[in-house]
Amino acid sequence: MSGPYVWKERPVAAGIQIARVTALAIHQAYGTITCFVRKYPRNGVVEADDPVYLLTAGHVLSPNKKKDGITPVDDVVYQPAPVGWINRIATVDEVHYDGTLDAGTALLDSDVDFRNYAWKIGAIKSIAAPVPGMKVVKHGRSTGRTYGTIIDVNTTTNTGDMVFKDLIYISFDKTNSGNDTTAGFSTEGDSGAPIITGDGVLVGILHADYDGDAYAINAGTVFATMMLRLA
């Protein structure tokens, strides 16, 4: 079966489709959930109920930050997509798209259950720094599960809208029998997909595809800057 891989999943999981929409859902922008997080106290203020947020690429939550992206009608996030206005799961909370970070959080609705499980891969257990030579895997909305090898962790390049620095460069392991496709590591719609090791360590957030390979944002940088922890 080839992608896109679109279905409604409850509890919501990592590695599956989310959507943002324009007025009347005429246009939709798709992306992929990275994982679920909580936030450390900020300015000494502790949120009373310690709420849960979904994490993904910033341009997934605010697609208008990219030059050809749609402008959403509101702050609602859907999974997998709206049916009328059904299937909402979260509200956009914080977005970064600035040349170093491409990441954002959305506050889960109180009636939405979740699990930090990357689809077809396994539980997301911890965060670690990416290292050249590291073998990784992701599951995304468009290309499903694909495997790769980290080549560099300090790449600077223009990915279409601006120059990003400190990117993870991932080479597609095309011959891996576990791939759902041989077309490439990722494509449009996979943005936000979790880049993890085989033992469940999150090291990156998918940022952009590149000639069959991919760029990702360092997950450790995102968690430190946005003061996050795994839920």
pLDDT given at position 128:
97
Residues with Cβ within 8 Å of 48's Cβ and at least 6 positions away in sequence, in order, are none
Does the structure show a pLDDT above 80 at 47? no
Domains of the chain, residue spans: 12-117, 119-224
pLDDT digits 0-9 by tens, 78-124: 999 988 778 999 999 999 999 999 999 999 999 999 999 999 999 99
Q: How far apart are the first and last CA of the chain?
A: 32
Q: What is the mean pLDDT of residues 128-155?
A: 98
Q: How large is the average pLDDT for residues 186-200?
A: 97
User: Rounded distance, CA 61 to CA 8, Å?
Assistant: 19
Q: In the chain, pLDDT over 90 holds for what percent of residues? A: 81
CATH fold group of domain 119-224 = Thrombin, subunit H (2.40.10)
What helix, strand, coil percent values describe the chain, rounded to 5? 10, 50, 45
**Residue among 168, 171, 172 nearest 154 (CA):** 168
Q: What is the pLDDT of residue 160?
A: 77
Q: For position 30, what pLDDT does the model report?
A: 95
Average of per-residue pLDDT values in the chain: 93
Q: What is the pLDDT of residue 71?
A: 79
pLDDT 10s digits, 157-172: 998 788 999 999 999 9
pLDDT, residue 44, reads 66
- In this structure, are residues 57 and 192 in contact, taking their beta carbons and an 8 Å threshold? yes
74 falls in which pLDDT band (50, 70, 90)? confident
The predicted model gives 50-59 an average pLDDT of: 96
pLDDT at 108: 97
If you classify domain 12-117 with CATH, what class do you get? mainly beta
Give the model's pLDDT for residue 1.
55
Task: Specify the pLDDT at position 3.
Answer: 75
pLDDT at 81: 93
Q: Give burial (CB, 10 Å; 0-12/13-18/19+) of 175.
A: exposed
Report, as an integer, the average pLDDT of 207-223.
97
- Same fold across 12-117 and 119-224: yes
